[in-house]
Amino acid sequence: MAIKNLGYLGFGVKDMAAWRQCLSGNFGLMEVAAAKDPHETALFRMDCRAWRIAVHHNPEDDLAYVGYEVGNAQDLATMAEQIRQAGVVVTQGDAMLIQQRGVVDMISFSDPFGLTIELYYGATDVFDQPFVSSTGISGFLTGNQGMGHIVRCVPDAAKALDFYTQVMGFKMSDIVDLTLGPDMKLPLYFLHCNERQHTLAIAAIPSPKKIHHFMLEALSMDDVGFAYDRLSAANLTTTTLGKHTNDHMFSFYSRTPSGIELEFGWGARIIDANWSVTRHNNVSIWGHKPTNSD
């Protein structure tokens, strides 16, 4: 498929200072100088890329855009035509936006429920400026797997699934049945575009936010443990530590200042050529129990 990975996320937030503390102080991302007013935009690194998460001052307090990477100009043109053929309006990125994102070229459009999606190629690497974590984290698992995953909240899972698989080209990894009550389950659909077990999940969950959570994967179990201690002490965890059924991720969940959750994990299994779509009756093998955080 043309889409290689999840390259970046952009949030529009009310409290810039709180998000700086969340990403840099709590989870160890590296803040870098933004070309725009630092009171209005903050950029954060996870690896050799110039940035992975952008935070913009905005009253919406939600995910603003998602950036997916393609390999080259031909792949971008192919995806643009494929998306147009599906009846979706595609906008060519202008010079200012291309410069702000630090890419060679890009397009943008919306998914069926209003989330802005950006496809790009030629992101900026800064190997001459090594990533240095603000909390001493050993690093994040990115590379060919991209920066992590998101769980998209939508009113109509079937419509979203059709768009992301038939138009965008994502492949099904598995389905997890979330238990809501006696004899009541909600299917969650997990999709991949590379060897990361899922880059995108789709959930028909009523939510004021565009996503339930985004996930960042650390390079060591200790990174997760230390973060869990920090966040627990600050009363910011929303679950205990746990291990998921589908990707086998060892992780916990925490609140962000905008009400979106952040999953911080380690050790997920990957997709290979022998992968078959499966179904799971529970979200977690163990753990991930709700905490008493306010």
The side-by-side arrangement of strands in the sheet containing 171-181 is: 278-280, 171-181, 184-192, 200-203, 149-153, 211-217, 261-266, 250-255, 242-244, 284-287
Q: CATH topology for 3-121?
A: 2,3-Dihydroxybiphenyl 1,2-Dioxygenase; domain 1 (3.10.180)
Structure-block tokens of residue 162: 């059709």
Residue 178 banded pLDDT, cuts 50, 70, 90 = confident
Question: Residue 135 corresponds to which amino acid?
Answer: T
**What is the band of 175 on the pLDDT scale with cuts at 50, 70, 90?**
very high
Question: Which regions of the chain carry the CATH code 3.10.180.10?
Answer: 3-121, 143-287
Alpha-carbon distance 257 to 101, whole Å?
24
Q: Is 274 helix (H, G, I), strand (E, B) or coil?
A: coil
pLDDT beyond 60 at 124? yes
Burial of 231 (0-12, 13-18, 19+ CB in 10 A): buried
Cα end-to-end span (Å), the chain: 42
- Give 221-230 pLDDT, tens digit per residue: 999 999 999 9
Has residue 106 got a pLDDT over 80? Answer: yes
Query: How many Å apart are CA 55 and CA 11, to the nearest integer?
Result: 5
55, 81 Cβ separation under 8 angstroms: no
Using DSSP bridges, classify how beta strands 105-110 and 91-92 pair: parallel, antiparallel or unpaired. Answer: antiparallel
Confidence of residue 293 (pLDDT cuts 50, 70, 90): low
Tokens representing residue 97 in the block: 């936006």
Q: What is the pLDDT of residue 3?
A: 98
d(CA 150, CA 212): 8
pLDDT tens for 32-80 read 987 667 779 999 999 999 999 999 999 999 999 999 999 999 999 999 9
φ and ψ of 239, to 5 deg: -140, 165
How confident is the model at residue 272, as a pLDDT? 93
Class of domain 143-287: alpha beta
> Does the pTM exceed 0.85?
yes
Tell me the pLDDT band of 236, cut-offs 50, 70 and 90.
very high
**What confidence category does residue 182 fall into, taking pLDDT thresholds of 50, 70 and 90?**
confident
The pLDDT of residue 132 is: 97
For the chain, percent of residues with pLDDT exceeding 90: 93
CA distance 188 to 17: 33
